[in-house]
Chain A
Amino acid sequence: MATETVVKHDHHDETEGGAWDGGKRPFEVSYGKLMMWYFLLSDAFTFAGFLIAYGTLRFSSATWPVPDFVFSTTPFGGHGLPLIFVTFMSFLLIISSVTMVRGVQEGHRENKRGVVFWMFLTIIGGIGFLSCQAWEWNNLINEEHMTVTVNPFGTHVESGTYLEGDDHDIKAGDSFAKGDSYLIHQHNGEFHPLKYKTDAGVEKQQEFGPKAFGALFFFITGFHGFHVLSGVVFLIIIMINVASGLYVERKNGYEMVEKIGLYWHFVDLVWVFVFLVFYLL
């Protein structure tokens, strides 16, 4: 894309001297950008470790909460809308990634006002994403009572009929099939697993889902959210520096904006996989 507009500077005469005589940049990028790439590589391995752990534990469990059932609530009382809210969150990150690219482009043209404008929009996108995540966590913790150790999202392993109802979606006499998901609701601070009768005629009650789900969800989305948060903090600092004219003096095409841009795209990149693993599959 727009890399050709990078301001070329301090290009020494490269025909003079050998590769080991100093003054040459490995891989033809600055030290800062190269190290940002390697930091992102190591960070990618951290996230990959977490997501592979999620997959491993999911493989090891007989049942697993179905994401389109768990994540089917939206703000303003939306119910039974699978994945809608989290798709909106993904769009926020994609859009903020695009505004970041625009900021970097304006930086290459040494357009200070443009950089500040597009970075500001990027920050708004990041804060919007964090707010959505805060709402999602609040809903899971305070409304649906999922914690790191308790997972009220279960899955039926056989078909049957409910013997009692809750005050929410289930009524006594409702039937369910093998593989259907349920949420055990709380009344007055205590969980009330519903009693049901299987088609084979055995009376049972709802069981909690695999514990690991809550821990994995809060830990991995929390780790990603923390990356977004630190990204927003650094974006704000660098935006202030841009506005103050600090990078004009450096005459390197706003390379600092490029570096935070790399980090910001990486946060978007990780979300692609968190979205895939937690919500889509």
Chain B
Amino acid sequence: MGHKSYEESIKDVYKGLVLLAVVTLIEVGISLFGKGHLGYKPSPEMGWLLALVAIGLIVLSLYKAYFIIYEFMHMSSEVRGLRLTVLMPCLLLVWAIIAFFQEGNSWFERRDLIKQKNERSINDKKMDVQGSLIQKEETYQM
């Protein structure tokens, strides 16, 4: 890094511009393909293709993030200690994503259960005397 002339470093900046623009265009293309705007519509049964589209988009975005941090923000020329203290904490987010998406999924599955419960307690109300409702609820617990 430490031996580039002024002209060279200007050239690098514009190369970076072209790179980011091209990656963004590829991302938009992939996204539109996944949504079926480019002639071919992936059917919902082709889960693997849709997963591939999502993974592709995430990888390209991470690459853009890397490029912005390392080239535009000059992280590559900072000392190792600074790089580590800024970047390592971000790994915590990996766990946050896993944990919260798991949670979201669990809410999704519970939605049906809550709906079921709501319907059942209405039916039970007709037949049962008041007060048995709470006992009945317990039997539906997971």
Spell out A's residues near B (CB within 8 Å).
1-5, 26-29, 34, 37-38, 40-41, 44-45, 48-49, 52-53, 55-62, 66, 68, 82-83, 87, 90-91, 94-95, 97-98, 100-102, 105, 109, 179, 261-262, 265-266, 268-269, 272-273, 275-276, 279-281
Contact = CB atoms under 8 A, between A and B. Distances in A.
Given A4-B2, A87-B24, A68 B32 contact: yes
Nearest to A55: B101
B122 interface: no
B44 A1 contact: no
B13 A68 contact: no
B54 to A, nearest CB: 6
Contacts of B68: 97, 265, 268-269, 272
Contacts of A52: 93, 96-97, 100-101
Interface string B67-79: 0110111100111
Interface in B1-30: 1-4, 6, 9-10, 12-14, 16-17, 20-21, 24-25, 27-28, 30
B57 A276 contact: yes
29 contacts: A1-B9, A1-B77, A2-B4, A3-B1, A27-B79, A27-B81, A28-B79, A38-B85, A41-B86, A45-B89, A48-B93, A53-B100, A55-B100, A59-B104, A60-B107, A66-B35, A82-B37, A87-B28, A94-B21, A97-B68, A105-B10, A179-B44, A266-B73, A272-B61, A272-B64, A273-B65, A276-B58, A280-B27, A280-B28
A41 B108 contact: no
Contacts of B72: 97-98, 100-101, 265, 268
Contacts of B73: 261-262, 265-266
Top 5 A-B pairs ranked by shortest CB distance?
A59-B104, A60-B107, A56-B104, A2-B9, A27-B82
A68 B37 contact: yes
Given A4-B4, A28-B79, A279 B65 contact: no
B111 interface: yes
B139 interface: no
